[in-house]
Amino acid sequence: MLFADFPIKRANLWLRKLHPPIPQVTRSVGIRIERTRLAQQLSCIDPKPAPFLVEQLHRLPKGRALDVAAGGGRHSLFLAARGYHVDAIDRDEAALTQLAASAAAKALPPIKTRTIDLEQPAPFDPGFGHETYDVVIVFFYLHRSLFPFLIDALKPGGVLIYETFTIDNYTHHKHPRRWEFCLAHNELLRMTSTLQTLHYDEGPHDGVKGPRSTYTAQLVAHRPLRSAHLT
């Protein structure tokens, strides 16, 4: 059960006769576990995309897509398989390397990856670009200072799709581990008020993170097209 619950990259095994790792038990076996984020991620990740992304795919324009905090890349792979040119950003270089390899193994269009810590102190520009993407997606990641950059990265007519935990999930499940990582009620709407909301829902959602309901906010919003000015 230990190894099932806590995936490891390497285990060091040792024997102790005089000074065992368990007090009062001689000749016991000790295990030192070294974990990496990638090891945990790749063992626990659901290869299927989030249900919300699948449900809202029909709203997404074709073209370039940005996957922010992509992690193991299940959403990047999903979009690449449907013809999108995907850029994936995450702080975990090993995870992004694995993502690029997975895309190649599946004979998908190459996924451009960039390793970056998105939580650097201000002033900080994450380099998403101006009016660069037709689609921007963020799933289960929240860094509030990024929202102006997410919005600016959208082309006119581009769509932002966002889902992450609300404070209700912390109240009911104590997850994430800190309440600051959760959205307040309607906070996602406020932070994207310059966009036109196409879909918004807060509450318990099934099939998101395991068998129990997960309290999330789900948003689809698009950047309005520029008005045509007659001269």
User: Could you tell me the CATH number of the domain that includes residue 140?
Assistant: 3.40.50.150
Q: Are residues 12 and 88 in the same domain?
A: no
Query: What pLDDT digit, counting tens, does each position of 121-148 carry?
Result: 988 999 999 999 999 999 999 999 999 9
**Residue 69, class by beta-carbon neighbours within 10 Å (0-12 exposed, 13-18 middle, 19+ buried)?**
buried
Cβ distance 141 to 70 under 8 Å?
no
Q: Is 71 helix (H, G, I), strand (E, B) or coil?
A: coil
User: What is residue 20's predicted lDDT score, i.e. its pLDDT?
Assistant: 44
Pairing of strands 28-34, 10-16: antiparallel
The arithmetic mean of pLDDT across residues 193-216, rounded, is 88
- When mean pLDDT is compared over 22-26, 41-45, 176-180, the highest value belongs to 176-180
Q: Cα angle at 214 between 191 and 73, to 5 degrees? A: 75
The structural domain count of the chain equals 2
Joined together, the tokens standing for residue 110 give 């190459």
Q: In this predicted structure, what is the pLDDT of residue 177?
A: 74
pLDDT of 208 higher than 90: no
8 in a domain, yes or no? Answer: yes
What is the structure's pLDDT at 147?
98
Q: Is residue 227 part of a domain?
A: no
Label residue 31 by pLDDT band (50, 70, 90): very low
Residues 135 and 103 in one domain: yes
pLDDT at residue 229, as a whole number: 54
Kindly state the DSSP code that residue 13 receives in the 8-state scheme.
E
State which amino acid sits at residue 87. Answer: D
Which domain does 163 fall in, by range?
Answer: 43-222
Length of the chain: 231
pLDDT digits (tens, 9 = 90+) for 94-106: 999 999 999 999 9
Q: Are strands 214-222 and 196-205 parallel, antiparallel or unpaired?
A: antiparallel
Taking the C-alpha atoms of residue 217 and residue 206, their distance in angstroms, rounded to an integer, is 13
Average pLDDT, whole number, for the chain?
A: 83
Q: Are residues 92 and 21 in the same domain?
A: no
Cα–chain center distance at 102: 17
Q: Please list the residues that pair with 64 across neighbouring strands.
A: 85
How many other C-beta atoms can be found within 10 angstroms of the C-beta atom of residue 71? 23
The predicted pLDDT at position 228 comes to 57
Least confident of 3-12, 41-50, 74-83: 3-12
Paired strand residues for 205: 214
If pLDDT is split at 50, 70 and 90, which confidence band does 8 have? very low
Burial of 169 (0-12, 13-18, 19+ CB in 10 A): buried
Share of the chain above pLDDT 90, in %: 65
Q: Do 58 and 99 sit in the same domain of this protein? A: yes
Same domain flag for 183 and 132: yes
DSSP-derived letter for residue 179 is G
Question: Does a structural domain hold residue 228?
Answer: no
Q: Are 125 and 194 in the same domain?
A: yes
The predicted model gives 102-111 an average pLDDT of 95
Q: Quick check: is 103 in a domain?
A: yes
